[in-house]
A and B are shown apart, each in its own frame.
Chain A
Amino acid sequence: MKNIIQNINKAFDHRIRLGIMSVLMVNESADFNMLKELLGVTDGNLASHTKALETENYIMIEKQFIGKKPNTRYIATTEGKKAFKEHIEALEKLLSKN
Protein backbone atom coordinates (compact mmCIF):
# COMPACT_ATOMS: atom_id res chain seq x y z
CA MET A 1 0.00 0.00 0.00
CA LYS A 2 2.76 2.38 0.95
CA ASN A 3 4.49 1.86 -2.39
CA ILE A 4 1.40 2.72 -4.34
CA ILE A 5 0.92 5.97 -2.46
CA GLN A 6 4.51 6.88 -3.20
CA ASN A 7 3.77 6.65 -6.88
CA ILE A 8 0.86 9.06 -6.63
CA ASN A 9 2.61 12.10 -7.94
CA LYS A 10 1.90 15.39 -6.17
CA ALA A 11 2.84 17.28 -9.33
CA PHE A 12 -0.21 15.80 -11.08
CA ASP A 13 -2.55 16.25 -8.17
CA HIS A 14 -4.51 19.00 -9.81
CA ARG A 15 -7.20 18.91 -12.48
CA ILE A 16 -5.46 21.34 -14.85
CA ARG A 17 -2.01 19.76 -14.60
CA LEU A 18 -3.61 16.36 -15.10
CA GLY A 19 -5.34 17.74 -18.20
CA ILE A 20 -2.16 19.26 -19.64
CA MET A 21 -0.28 15.98 -19.25
CA SER A 22 -3.17 13.95 -20.73
CA VAL A 23 -3.19 16.11 -23.83
CA LEU A 24 0.59 15.95 -24.22
CA MET A 25 0.65 12.18 -23.83
CA VAL A 26 -1.37 11.65 -27.01
CA ASN A 27 -0.25 14.68 -29.02
CA GLU A 28 3.30 15.40 -30.16
CA SER A 29 2.85 18.95 -29.02
CA ALA A 30 0.11 21.39 -28.12
CA ASP A 31 0.16 25.16 -28.28
CA PHE A 32 -1.10 27.57 -25.66
CA ASN A 33 -4.45 28.26 -27.31
CA MET A 34 -5.21 24.60 -27.92
CA LEU A 35 -4.62 23.81 -24.24
CA LYS A 36 -6.62 26.83 -23.17
CA GLU A 37 -9.58 25.80 -25.28
CA LEU A 38 -9.46 22.15 -24.26
CA LEU A 39 -9.14 22.81 -20.55
CA GLY A 40 -11.30 25.90 -20.39
CA VAL A 41 -8.93 27.95 -18.22
CA THR A 42 -7.68 31.52 -18.13
CA ASP A 43 -4.29 32.56 -19.54
CA GLY A 44 -2.72 33.22 -16.16
CA ASN A 45 -3.98 29.99 -14.69
CA LEU A 46 -2.65 27.91 -17.56
CA ALA A 47 0.70 29.71 -17.53
CA SER A 48 1.26 29.03 -13.84
CA HIS A 49 0.47 25.33 -14.21
CA THR A 50 2.68 24.85 -17.26
CA LYS A 51 5.43 26.65 -15.39
CA ALA A 52 5.04 24.24 -12.47
CA LEU A 53 5.29 21.22 -14.79
CA GLU A 54 8.31 22.72 -16.52
CA THR A 55 10.11 23.20 -13.22
CA GLU A 56 9.60 19.49 -12.54
CA ASN A 57 11.14 18.81 -15.96
CA TYR A 58 7.97 17.06 -17.10
CA ILE A 59 7.30 19.31 -20.06
CA MET A 60 9.36 21.44 -22.43
CA ILE A 61 8.31 24.88 -23.51
CA GLU A 62 9.21 26.02 -27.00
CA LYS A 63 8.72 29.59 -28.02
CA GLN A 64 8.74 30.50 -31.68
CA PHE A 65 7.23 32.93 -34.12
CA ILE A 66 4.61 32.02 -36.69
CA GLY A 67 4.79 35.03 -38.96
CA LYS A 68 4.72 37.91 -36.54
CA LYS A 69 2.75 36.13 -33.85
CA PRO A 70 4.59 34.55 -30.96
CA ASN A 71 3.59 30.94 -30.45
CA THR A 72 4.27 28.81 -27.42
CA ARG A 73 4.33 25.04 -27.80
CA TYR A 74 4.41 22.47 -25.06
CA ILE A 75 5.94 19.03 -25.39
CA ALA A 76 6.02 16.28 -22.78
CA THR A 77 9.53 15.11 -21.90
CA THR A 78 10.42 11.42 -21.70
CA GLU A 79 10.73 11.88 -17.97
CA GLY A 80 7.30 13.47 -17.81
CA LYS A 81 5.69 10.70 -19.83
CA LYS A 82 7.24 8.07 -17.58
CA ALA A 83 6.14 9.85 -14.43
CA PHE A 84 2.61 10.30 -15.74
CA LYS A 85 2.33 6.64 -16.70
CA GLU A 86 3.39 5.64 -13.20
CA HIS A 87 0.86 8.06 -11.80
CA ILE A 88 -1.97 6.52 -13.83
CA GLU A 89 -0.90 3.00 -12.87
CA ALA A 90 -0.85 3.99 -9.21
CA LEU A 91 -4.36 5.46 -9.52
CA GLU A 92 -5.63 2.31 -11.17
CA LYS A 93 -4.07 0.10 -8.52
CA LEU A 94 -5.57 2.15 -5.74
CA LEU A 95 -8.98 1.85 -7.32
CA SER A 96 -8.77 -1.88 -7.84
CA LYS A 97 -7.60 -2.41 -4.24
CA ASN A 98 -10.67 -0.89 -2.60
Chain B
Amino acid sequence: MENEKYLKDIQDIKQMMSQSSRFISLSGLSGILAGIYSLIGAWLAYKTIYFDTSTMGSYRTLIISYEAVVKLFIIAASVIVLSIVTGLVLSLKKAKKANESLWNPTSKRLLINFLIPLLTGGFFIIFLIEKEILSLVAPLMLIFYGMACLNASKYTLGDVRYLGITLIILGLLSTWFLGYGLLFWALGFGVCHVVYGALMYFKYDRN
Protein backbone atom coordinates (compact mmCIF):
# COMPACT_ATOMS: atom_id res chain seq x y z
CA MET B 1 0.00 0.00 0.00
CA GLU B 2 2.62 2.51 1.20
CA ASN B 3 4.93 1.30 -1.51
CA GLU B 4 2.45 2.10 -4.22
CA LYS B 5 2.09 5.63 -2.94
CA TYR B 6 5.86 6.20 -2.98
CA LEU B 7 6.12 4.79 -6.48
CA LYS B 8 3.34 7.10 -7.61
CA ASP B 9 5.16 10.03 -5.98
CA ILE B 10 8.35 9.27 -7.89
CA GLN B 11 6.43 8.95 -11.14
CA ASP B 12 4.65 12.25 -10.49
CA ILE B 13 7.96 13.99 -9.80
CA LYS B 14 9.51 12.69 -13.01
CA GLN B 15 6.48 13.59 -15.07
CA MET B 16 6.22 17.09 -13.61
CA MET B 17 9.93 17.76 -14.11
CA SER B 18 9.87 16.84 -17.77
CA GLN B 19 6.47 18.41 -18.47
CA SER B 20 7.54 21.73 -16.99
CA SER B 21 10.90 21.93 -18.71
CA ARG B 22 10.39 20.19 -22.05
CA PHE B 23 7.86 20.73 -24.78
CA ILE B 24 6.75 17.19 -25.49
CA SER B 25 3.91 17.80 -27.89
CA LEU B 26 6.26 17.98 -30.84
CA SER B 27 4.69 15.73 -33.43
CA GLY B 28 6.75 12.94 -34.95
CA LEU B 29 4.35 12.65 -37.86
CA SER B 30 5.06 16.26 -38.85
CA GLY B 31 8.75 15.31 -39.06
CA ILE B 32 7.93 12.51 -41.48
CA LEU B 33 5.78 14.80 -43.61
CA ALA B 34 8.40 17.60 -43.61
CA GLY B 35 10.92 15.02 -44.82
CA ILE B 36 8.61 13.92 -47.62
CA TYR B 37 8.00 17.53 -48.73
CA SER B 38 11.77 18.05 -48.78
CA LEU B 39 12.31 14.95 -50.90
CA ILE B 40 9.65 16.06 -53.38
CA GLY B 41 11.21 19.54 -53.37
CA ALA B 42 14.67 18.10 -53.98
CA TRP B 43 13.36 16.00 -56.86
CA LEU B 44 11.71 19.04 -58.44
CA ALA B 45 14.88 21.08 -57.92
CA TYR B 46 16.95 18.33 -59.48
CA LYS B 47 14.69 18.31 -62.51
CA THR B 48 14.82 22.08 -62.73
CA ILE B 49 18.60 22.25 -62.54
CA TYR B 50 19.74 19.27 -64.54
CA PHE B 51 17.04 18.96 -67.17
CA ASP B 52 16.53 22.63 -67.78
CA THR B 53 17.37 23.11 -71.45
CA SER B 54 19.13 26.38 -70.77
CA THR B 55 21.32 24.78 -68.12
CA MET B 56 24.95 24.26 -68.92
CA GLY B 57 27.98 23.17 -67.05
CA SER B 58 28.77 20.22 -64.81
CA TYR B 59 28.40 19.39 -61.14
CA ARG B 60 31.17 21.80 -60.19
CA THR B 61 30.18 24.78 -62.24
CA LEU B 62 26.53 25.31 -62.59
CA ILE B 63 25.00 27.88 -64.88
CA ILE B 64 21.27 28.22 -64.59
CA SER B 65 18.77 30.52 -66.14
CA TYR B 66 16.91 33.25 -64.30
CA GLU B 67 13.61 31.35 -64.65
CA ALA B 68 15.21 28.31 -63.07
CA VAL B 69 16.36 30.38 -60.09
CA VAL B 70 12.84 31.72 -59.60
CA LYS B 71 11.47 28.19 -59.83
CA LEU B 72 14.00 26.93 -57.26
CA PHE B 73 13.07 29.76 -54.93
CA ILE B 74 9.37 28.91 -55.22
CA ILE B 75 10.09 25.23 -54.55
CA ALA B 76 12.19 26.03 -51.47
CA ALA B 77 9.65 28.50 -50.10
CA SER B 78 6.73 26.08 -50.55
CA VAL B 79 8.63 23.27 -48.81
CA ILE B 80 9.41 25.52 -45.83
CA VAL B 81 5.89 26.96 -45.53
CA LEU B 82 4.24 23.54 -45.90
CA SER B 83 6.56 22.02 -43.28
CA ILE B 84 5.96 24.79 -40.75
CA VAL B 85 2.17 24.69 -41.23
CA THR B 86 2.10 20.89 -40.92
CA GLY B 87 4.29 21.02 -37.82
CA LEU B 88 2.07 23.62 -36.18
CA VAL B 89 -1.21 21.88 -36.98
CA LEU B 90 -0.07 18.42 -35.87
CA SER B 91 1.62 19.70 -32.70
CA LEU B 92 -1.50 21.68 -31.86
CA LYS B 93 -3.55 18.50 -32.22
CA LYS B 94 -1.14 16.55 -30.04
CA ALA B 95 -1.06 19.30 -27.42
CA LYS B 96 -4.85 19.43 -27.31
CA LYS B 97 -5.00 15.68 -26.76
CA ALA B 98 -2.57 16.00 -23.85
CA ASN B 99 -4.51 18.98 -22.48
CA GLU B 100 -1.48 21.20 -22.91
CA SER B 101 -1.46 24.59 -24.56
CA LEU B 102 0.75 25.05 -27.60
CA TRP B 103 2.01 28.44 -26.50
CA ASN B 104 3.45 27.97 -23.02
CA PRO B 105 6.78 28.66 -21.30
CA THR B 106 8.31 25.41 -22.59
CA SER B 107 7.35 25.95 -26.23
CA LYS B 108 8.56 29.56 -26.00
CA ARG B 109 11.91 28.41 -24.70
CA LEU B 110 12.09 25.74 -27.37
CA LEU B 111 11.40 28.24 -30.14
CA ILE B 112 13.88 30.84 -28.89
CA ASN B 113 16.69 28.33 -28.50
CA PHE B 114 15.94 26.80 -31.89
CA LEU B 115 15.86 30.17 -33.63
CA ILE B 116 19.13 31.62 -32.30
CA PRO B 117 21.48 29.29 -34.24
CA LEU B 118 19.03 29.06 -37.15
CA LEU B 119 18.77 32.83 -37.69
CA THR B 120 22.52 33.26 -37.19
CA GLY B 121 23.03 30.75 -39.98
CA GLY B 122 20.31 32.30 -42.07
CA PHE B 123 21.85 35.77 -42.01
CA PHE B 124 25.33 34.38 -42.57
CA ILE B 125 24.11 32.48 -45.62
CA ILE B 126 22.29 35.54 -46.99
CA PHE B 127 25.56 37.49 -46.78
CA LEU B 128 27.36 34.66 -48.56
CA ILE B 129 24.77 34.64 -51.33
CA GLU B 130 25.15 38.40 -51.66
CA LYS B 131 28.90 37.98 -52.05
CA GLU B 132 28.20 35.16 -54.52
CA ILE B 133 30.00 32.53 -52.47
CA LEU B 134 27.38 29.95 -53.31
CA SER B 135 29.35 26.75 -52.95
CA LEU B 136 29.12 26.69 -49.15
CA VAL B 137 25.42 27.45 -48.94
CA ALA B 138 24.19 23.84 -48.87
CA PRO B 139 26.72 22.57 -46.28
CA LEU B 140 26.18 25.59 -44.04
CA MET B 141 22.40 25.22 -44.12
CA LEU B 142 22.75 21.64 -42.92
CA ILE B 143 25.29 22.57 -40.25
CA PHE B 144 23.34 25.51 -38.83
CA TYR B 145 20.05 23.62 -38.93
CA GLY B 146 21.78 20.76 -37.14
CA MET B 147 23.09 23.11 -34.47
CA ALA B 148 19.62 24.61 -34.07
CA CYS B 149 18.21 21.11 -33.45
CA LEU B 150 21.03 20.31 -31.04
CA ASN B 151 20.39 23.48 -29.09
CA ALA B 152 16.62 22.99 -29.06
CA SER B 153 16.86 19.37 -27.95
CA LYS B 154 17.36 20.39 -24.32
CA TYR B 155 13.83 21.75 -24.35
CA THR B 156 11.98 19.00 -26.15
CA LEU B 157 12.12 15.27 -26.89
CA GLY B 158 15.71 14.08 -26.55
CA ASP B 159 15.74 12.41 -29.97
CA VAL B 160 16.04 15.81 -31.65
CA ARG B 161 19.61 15.89 -30.33
CA TYR B 162 20.60 12.95 -32.54
CA LEU B 163 18.85 14.46 -35.54
CA GLY B 164 20.99 17.57 -34.96
CA ILE B 165 24.23 15.62 -34.70
CA THR B 166 23.43 13.63 -37.86
CA LEU B 167 22.75 16.84 -39.77
CA ILE B 168 25.98 18.46 -38.60
CA ILE B 169 27.97 15.40 -39.75
CA LEU B 170 26.19 15.43 -43.12
CA GLY B 171 26.91 19.15 -43.46
CA LEU B 172 30.60 18.66 -42.77
CA LEU B 173 30.75 15.73 -45.19
CA SER B 174 29.09 17.71 -47.92
CA THR B 175 31.80 20.35 -47.61
CA TRP B 176 34.09 17.74 -49.17
CA PHE B 177 31.67 16.94 -51.96
CA LEU B 178 30.65 20.45 -52.91
CA GLY B 179 29.05 19.54 -56.22
CA TYR B 180 26.58 17.21 -54.55
CA GLY B 181 24.88 19.79 -52.34
CA LEU B 182 21.41 18.83 -53.52
CA LEU B 183 22.01 15.16 -52.76
CA PHE B 184 23.15 15.98 -49.22
CA TRP B 185 20.22 18.30 -48.83
CA ALA B 186 17.82 15.53 -49.80
CA LEU B 187 19.59 13.21 -47.36
CA GLY B 188 19.63 15.71 -44.51
CA PHE B 189 16.33 17.50 -44.79
CA GLY B 190 14.47 14.64 -46.45
CA VAL B 191 15.69 11.23 -45.31
CA CYS B 192 16.83 12.33 -41.81
CA HIS B 193 13.51 13.99 -41.07
CA VAL B 194 11.59 10.92 -42.21
CA VAL B 195 13.77 8.54 -40.16
CA TYR B 196 13.80 10.56 -36.94
CA GLY B 197 10.16 11.58 -37.38
CA ALA B 198 9.19 7.91 -37.70
CA LEU B 199 11.32 7.03 -34.68
CA MET B 200 9.58 9.68 -32.59
CA TYR B 201 6.19 8.77 -33.98
CA PHE B 202 6.52 5.13 -32.96
CA LYS B 203 8.07 6.02 -29.62
CA TYR B 204 5.64 8.70 -28.43
CA ASP B 205 2.70 9.41 -30.72
CA ARG B 206 1.04 6.14 -31.41
CA ASN B 207 -0.99 5.65 -28.26
List chain A positions with a Cβ less than 8 A from chain B.
15, 18-19, 22-23, 25-27, 30, 34, 37-39, 88, 91-92, 94-95, 98
B16 within 8 A of A: yes
Residues of B within 8 A of A15 (CB): 12
Q: Is A88 a contact partner of B10 (Cβ separation < 8 A)?
A: yes
Report B8-46 CB contacts with A as 1/0, cut-off 8 Å: 011011001101110000000000000000000000000
Chain B interface, DSSP helix/strand/loop, else mixed: helix
Q: Is B207 an interface residue (CB 8 A)?
A: no
List of A residues within 8 angstroms of B17 by Cβ: 22-23, 25-26
Interface residues of B (CB under 8 A from A): 2-3, 6-7, 9-10, 12-13, 16-17, 19-21, 101, 104-105
Contacts of A39 in B (CB 8 A): 16
Q: List 11 A-B contacts (CB under 8 A).
A: A22-B13, A23-B20, A25-B17, A38-B16, A38-B20, A88-B13, A91-B6, A91-B9, A94-B6, A95-B3, A95-B6
**A98 to B21 Cα, complex, angstroms:** 32
